[in-house]
Chain A
Amino acid sequence: MIFINNPSYVFLSLASFSLAFLSIYHLRAKSHTIKEKTLLIYSHLIFLFFPFALFTLTMACRAISISCEATRILSYSMPTSIALSLLAGFIGIPVLYFMSSRTSGVNDSGMLGFVKKHSDKISIRTPKLYVIDTAKPQAFSFLSFMPSIFMSVGILDILNRKEIESVILHELAHIKHGSTVLKISSYVMRLSPFSMLKTLSSELDAEERNADLFVFKTQKTWKYIQSAKRKLDEYETENNSIKQTLD
């Protein structure tokens, strides 16, 4: 009751909720860049949970019967979850991959030269190239504190030179556009109960298409990126089918 009777707290809370919904509303607009969308995601979360934090810190212990410790834990849990998610996504997971014993740097001068040449063309810091000791074909990139591209030995085994180059170009495009940031942010967004109002799957799909388009513009053909993707799908299908048949 005390909280509701304080006009400034009420005004701040209502304003904060309004801005949270405004952020979600603007997120639906297709014209925003990745940076703008990311900003809107975190703005939404901050504005959404600000009133609860304000209530808990100023009034909760006196206004409701839950113990102060419990309400304090509840109010700190949301910003802590967001902070931990960001830490995990931008630092924790990349560090795990860097430190893994299955990860090693690539020394292939041809591949390194290719990465440097095209990084310079699109004016990004040359990412480090790593190979992961696993047969499962996969490739991904991180932007965090050091741009890096990871490829498994499995993907190098099944793709030819041009297809490998198309995958590298695809990842360079993701680094250039900051797609990783959007992807991690889309997971953090799920902390909001209103995340169903705006899922980011269409934006993430668009990022994939933009990365493929970059490959097409560079290699002047869709052939290699399409055949690379086809082989990755084939591997997945074969692997699942063989597991079901033989196990």
Chain B
Amino acid sequence: MVNVRKIQKIRFEKKDLESFLSPLESDVLKTLWVNADDSSKPKEMKVKEIYNLLKGKRKVALTSIAVILDRLYEKKIVSRKMKTGRGGIHYVYYPCATRENLEESIVKNVVNKLIDNFGNVAVSYFNERFSAGNKDKNQKLI
């Protein structure tokens, strides 16, 4: 499970990654995942490489990408290391987990927090919601 304790806000009016990340954070993370999934590309990316990929799709500054990557690093969603290469010394970033693992961790964290805060009320609701009687409703979700 990914450590998601630093993600403190869930925006239920948003869907998908944007419920707990900003639009730019989501785009940066998706870019890292796409790269990580493609075996022909290196798993780690520099700030400038991510910027070059995103600037064609949206209006964004290099400094914004740097700020966002640092935020994702602090939230422990991405990791980084210093690398010395042809272009000098840089950070290379890579995702801490796959998309599935991250989403699973977020869901577990939210559910655990609901149970911690609301105790039996939350547990009763989950039992009722995911009971056999609601099988059809649950099937539609999956």
Cβ < 8 Å to B, chain A residues 191-246: 231, 234-235, 238-239, 242, 245-246
A145 to chain B, nearest CB (A): 25
Pairwise interchain contact B89-A156, C-beta atoms closer than 8 A: yes
User: B interface, by DSSP: helix, strand, loop or mixed?
Assistant: helix
B131 to chain A, nearest CB (A): 38
A231 to chain B, nearest CB (A): 6
Q: How large is the interface on A (under 10, 10 to 19, 20 to 34, 35 or more residues)?
A: 20 to 34
We find that the number of chain B residues with CB closer than 8 angstroms to chain A is: 21
Bound Cα distance A131, B81 (Å): 13
Looking at the complex, which one of B22, B48, B66, B88 makes contact with A111 (CB distance below 8 Å)? B88
Pairwise interchain contact A135-B88, C-beta atoms closer than 8 A: no
Question: Nearest B residue to A246 by beta-carbon distance?
Answer: B22
Pairwise interchain contact B89-A153, C-beta atoms closer than 8 A: yes
Segment at the A interface, from B35-43, B67-75, B101-109, B120-128: B67-75
Looking at the complex, which one of B22, B71, B82, B84 makes contact with A133 (CB distance below 8 Å)? B82
Asked if A154 CB lies within 8 Å of chain B CBs, one says yes
Cβ < 8 Å to A, chain B residues 13-48: 22, 46-48
Q: List chain A residues, Cβ under 8 A from B61.
A: 234, 238
Asked if A107 CB lies within 8 Å of chain B CBs, one says yes
Pairwise interchain contact B67-A231, C-beta atoms closer than 8 A: no
Asked if B3 CB lies within 8 Å of chain A CBs, one says no
A77 to chain B, nearest CB (A): 41
Q: List chain A residues, Cβ under 8 A from B47.
A: 157-158
Q: Given the interface contacts A153-B90, A238-B63, does A107 sit within 8 Å of B48 by beta carbon? A: no
Bound Cα distance A242, B68 (Å): 9
Q: Given the interface contacts A107-B84, A153-B82, A231-B63, does A242 sit within 8 Å of B71 by beta carbon? A: yes
Bound Cα distance A77, B96 (Å): 52
Bound Cα distance A153, B48 (Å): 13
Pairwise interchain contact A135-B64, C-beta atoms closer than 8 A: no
Q: List chain B residues, Cβ under 8 A from A106.
A: 89
Asked if A7 CB lies within 8 Å of chain B CBs, one says no
Q: List chain B residues, Cβ under 8 A from A108.
A: 84, 88-89
Tell me the B residues contacting A by CB distance below 8 Å. Answer: 22, 46-48, 61-64, 66-71, 73, 82, 84, 88-91
With A108-B88, A245-B22 already in contact, 6 other A-B pairs whose C-beta atoms are closer than 8 Å: A106-B89, A110-B88, A135-B66, A153-B82, A154-B66, A235-B63
A-B contact pairs, 23 of them (CB 8 A): A107-B84, A108-B84, A110-B88, A111-B88, A131-B89, A133-B82, A136-B70, A137-B66, A153-B82, A153-B89, A154-B66, A157-B46, A157-B47, A157-B48, A157-B91, A158-B63, A161-B88, A231-B62, A234-B61, A235-B67, A238-B61, A242-B22, A246-B22
- Ranked nearest first, the 9 interchain pairs of A and B with the lowest CB-CB distance are A135-B70, A234-B63, A235-B63, A157-B47, A238-B67, A239-B67, A158-B66, A156-B89, A108-B88
